[in-house]
Chains A and B, each alone.
Chain A
Amino acid sequence: MKIDLFITCLNDAMFPRTGEATARLLERLGHEVRFNERQTCCGQMHFNSGYQHDALRLVRHFVDTFRDADVVVAPSGSCVGMVRDLYPRAAEWAHDDALLAEVQALTPRVFELSEFLVHHQGLEDVGAYYPHRVTYHQTCHAMRVLRVGDAPLRLLQRVRGLNLVALPAVDQCCGFGGTFSVKNPETSTAMLADKVQHVMSTNAEACTAGDNSCLMHIGGGLSRLQSGTRTVHLAEILASTEHEVFA
């Protein structure tokens, strides 16, 4: 299958390894992977911060970039959530019917990595090897907007060598919320403190999730406490094999 990668601005700039892992994993599974260099950012940060006119510019740019793609796969539940759930809102609120039609034509072809693998491809064992103790954080947008369900867990359960430990209060938000973490830093920190405690209680070597934004937040808290637990994106675990260690 021809797959267009959407690597998201945060992954591109801050977590390139996640993009590499996604590309290599999908190629390993036999897909033709493309990266359209025109892509930038889904506009979620603008939209969620109240700058919806500015976000529209990025919505249009995304639609222009991926209009001809067969399938778009992104290693981010939150950005795919933006595209699938909020692009239609963005077009509606701007009373732009033409854009709405384009968005509606494109969004059914845009997937988050784990839902693409499990729900679309029917895959659980992707041939990964990762000999570590890992706990999984369910990110809010993957869980409640995309309804990926247990897709990431099913993938992790089939990773050889991996010791999966349950995270207490797994369905609780980590408190990132984009600009929320800056606009309401104390509240965000209080939420993070609980999340970090829960992660540390598992004694995992790594905490994984399908979103680097949440992981950046959780990782920021773990790093500040010098906890020794790392954060690693799900794609990097799935891309790792005996021969090639990604994460």
Chain B
Amino acid sequence: MSAGGIKPARPFPAAARDTLGNAQMRRNLRHATTTIREKRQRAVDELPNWEALRDEAAALKDHVMAHLSEYLLELEASVQARGGQVHWARTAQEARSIVAALAQRHGAQEVIKVKSISTDEIELNAGLAAHGIHAIETDLAELIVQLAEDQPSHILVPAIHRNRAEIRELFQRKLGAELLTDDPKALADAARTYLREKFLSTTVAVSGANFAVAETGTVCVVESEGNGRMCLTMPDVLISVMGIEKVLPTWQDLAVFLRVLPRSSTAERMNPYTSFWSGVTPGDGPQEFHLVLLDNGRTDVLADDVGRQTLRCIRCSACLNVCPVYERTGGHAYGSVYPGPIGAILTPQLLQLEDENANTLPWASSLCGACYDACPVKINIPEVLLYLRGQISDAQPPSVQAAAFKVAAWVMSEPHRFEGAIKLARTGQGPLVKHGAIHALPGLLAGWTASRDLPAFPRQTFREWWRQRPAAQEHGPDRPEDTSETAGNAWEPL
């Protein structure tokens, strides 16, 4: 089942421990992210006005967020005017029921799906299964994940953690395909044979949406394989589930996003398939169109001055591909269909900072800032991470750690207290120091020394040295007294 929802089953550090131990997955991920990273950089460097485009995209999204209800109402009216129907879903549960009821009304036992992360977010596949309806993923990577009964691990490439040999084995077992090689073409052909029959025989399709244009009621999906276009045009009924933040005011606004999205996500100048549809057209394409507008926590995010920028996200996945934490832990460690840096800020916010496991995600970052640099809509992810850390800590009951930081702030806000603390530590470290370094620490800091040494406190602090200088402006001819504790450690001068 590929629809995993957004509630992590475990805290990030525990989940990461498992995935870090999977060497094959780490190799697959490193290979995939390194390749796409380099390609993206080339695609971006090609555009002389990249920074201006980012600014424009961010400003447009901010404008939409500031007037979201107006544009959504306009979108609703436009869709209806063109013969489509609009449904408002406050929660994932409501959205699932709406889609299930529509499919049931048409007596569908199977629906075909265009790759869509919003339907993964609401666990639509499981929701439909509960009504006896089988959802068939038609995107190659989503299909792999679905057949493997796995979870997606990347927004754009849900099966990024798997390699060709694994996929070949899966297709042989699940699709009964006879595959002599794990050549990509052979794998794609096997999937195509299976899917073609489904496209021709299924009457209801479900999609997500990359964008929707308020003025014309047009919905847009971009994709690479053409499976999306099949789903969007062949069935009688089309149901599109879309997060409310995806609306854009005018057709012209698309121009900015269709330039920044492909370069950021697949490192292409233009993606192979861009499909638009507006309501229904008699005799052409689906004769019934439903647009489900999904909130599921988004209006709460919108209400927060700092967190709001998260809703600019166009799900390009550039931030995942540059993230050193994602590269090591993989998407599953984030426990949500939104992995990586964007997941670390979006998931806890969608859950209103009430989910204990999701609340560990803002700490799943070394704050290196690579995500912010890569983001085409300039979401300051490090800033939001820090902000959320503060919000979450504030709401937590007093802890040993919180008390320690309080004491530390008190100590460090006065120089003499700070100095006293260093002297104390210098004396206290005695038994821990071996050859000028500390190799094992107790308690909270044990995690550090499991793999790293720590230098010992030297005999003299900087301020002690400063005080004993003959005169601040006199350059002594000799080096001042050596302040290092012992010889033979990594922190000893050359």
Contacts and interface: CB of A to CB of B under 8 A. Distances in A.
Interface of A: 7, 9, 11-17, 19-20, 23-24, 27-28, 32-35, 37-41, 43, 45-55, 57-58, 61, 86, 89, 93, 132, 140-141, 143-145, 171-173, 175-193, 205-206, 216-217, 219-224, 229-232, 236, 243-247
A75 to B, nearest CB: 10
Nearest to A140: B368
Given A219-B490, A231-B490, A17 B367 contact: no
A65 to B, nearest CB: 9
B460 A16 contact: yes
A184 B362 CA distance: 11
B365 interface: yes
Given A14-B455, A35-B463, A186 B20 contact: yes
Contacts of B387: 89, 93
Nearest to B385: A48
28 contacts: A15-B458, A23-B466, A27-B475, A33-B473, A39-B415, A49-B389, A49-B393, A50-B362, A52-B389, A61-B413, A140-B367, A140-B368, A171-B370, A175-B324, A182-B448, A186-B16, A186-B20, A189-B451, A190-B20, A190-B26, A216-B455, A220-B448, A220-B455, A223-B453, A223-B490, A230-B494, A231-B490, A247-B493
A247 B494 contact: yes
Query: Which of A46, A184, A185 has most B Cβ within 10 Å?
Result: A184
Contacts of B324: 172-173, 175, 191
Interface string B42-55: 00000000000000
Nearest to B478: A244
Interface string B453-490: 11101101111111000001101011110011000011
Given A13-B422, A40-B413, A141-B369, A93 B390 contact: yes
Interface stretch (B209-217, B309-317, B404-412): B404-412
Contacts of A143: 369
Interface in B425-449: 425, 437, 439, 444-445, 447-448
Q: Which range holds the interface residue count of chain B?
A: 35 or more
Contact of B367 (A7, A28, A177): A177
The prevalent SS among residues of A at the interface is: helix
Interface in B287-327: 306, 324-325
Contact of B369 (A19, A132, A145, A182): A145
A184 B363 contact: yes
Contact of A37 (B20, B329, B362, B463): B463
A7 B418 CA distance: 13
A54 B406 contact: yes
Contact of B413 (A17, A57, A171, A182): A57
A93 B365 contact: no
Given A175-B324, A219-B491, A50 B392 contact: yes
A111 B421 CA distance: 28
A19 B483 CA distance: 12
A176 B483 CA distance: 25
Contacts of A54: 405-406, 408-409
Contacts of A9: 412, 418
Contacts of A58: 409, 412-413
Contact of A46 (B12, B362, B408, B452): B408
